[in-house]
Amino acid sequence: MGYQPGRRSISTRGGTIYREKEGKMNPKEIIQEKVNKFKREINYQLNLDVSDSYSPYEKHEDLKKGEHPFPNSGSPGVYVFWPNNNDRPLYIGKSSDAIGNRVWAHLGRWGPSSDPYPDAEKWLKEKLRDVLLYTIPFPKEHRYLSSALEEFLIKELGPLQNRVLK
């Protein structure tokens, strides 16, 4: 696309996203743009909307085992940890069952059917303090597409903690 005067650009692995100078693109808009691109490429007609941001570090400490306050926590789908003031996500993951269980594992908590990652406490303290969570739910009958969207977003956005897929 190239340089365009009067426009702000954000570079991602999948190309450059341009926004008007006065309208700074936020992570939700970046993710939604990529989700829309994914939908066009696979000709998916249903809505796939990115949730509003949620701060998992600040809000999870008083919850009990199995409680999931995260957006779309009971749905299959994709989740994105995005650091504040960064132009790339930290980590992109998926759940074919319940997003809340997978997010809990990252936070060092147990969900009804998941164990925490062995290094969750360290990861939480070092990486998630200033990170926002975004979720993209799928209808249960289309849960198989969460793997495809996860891979697509990893390739497009180049998260800091995911391994690059070939």
Mean pLDDT calculated for residue range 11-33: 64
Least confident stretch, 25-29, 74-78, 115-119: 115-119
Distance CA 161, CA 78 (A): 15
pLDDT at 5: 39
Measured at the alpha carbon of residue 48, what is the angle toward residues 9 and 30, in degrees to the nearest 5? 10
The strand pairing partners of 6, in sequence order, are none
Name every residue whose Cβ is closer than 8 Å to that of residue 132 and which is 6 or more positions away in sequence: 27, 53, 54, 55, 81, 82, 83, 84
- Tokens 């594992």 correspond to 105
Q: Global pTM?
A: 0.75
The closest of 165, 150, 145 to 46, measured between CA atoms, is 145
pLDDT at 130: 77
Measured at the alpha carbon of residue 140, what is the angle toward residues 63 and 50, in degrees to the nearest 5? 65
Which tokens is 154 given? 């990893």
For the domain 7-157, what is the CATH code? 3.40.1440.10
Q: What residue segments make up the domains of the chain, in order of their start?
A: 7-157
The strand pairing partners of 80, in sequence order, are 92, 134
Q: pLDDT by residue (tens digit) across 137-152?
A: 999 999 999 999 999 9
What does the mean pLDDT of the chain come to? 76
Distance CA 3, CA 115 (A): 47
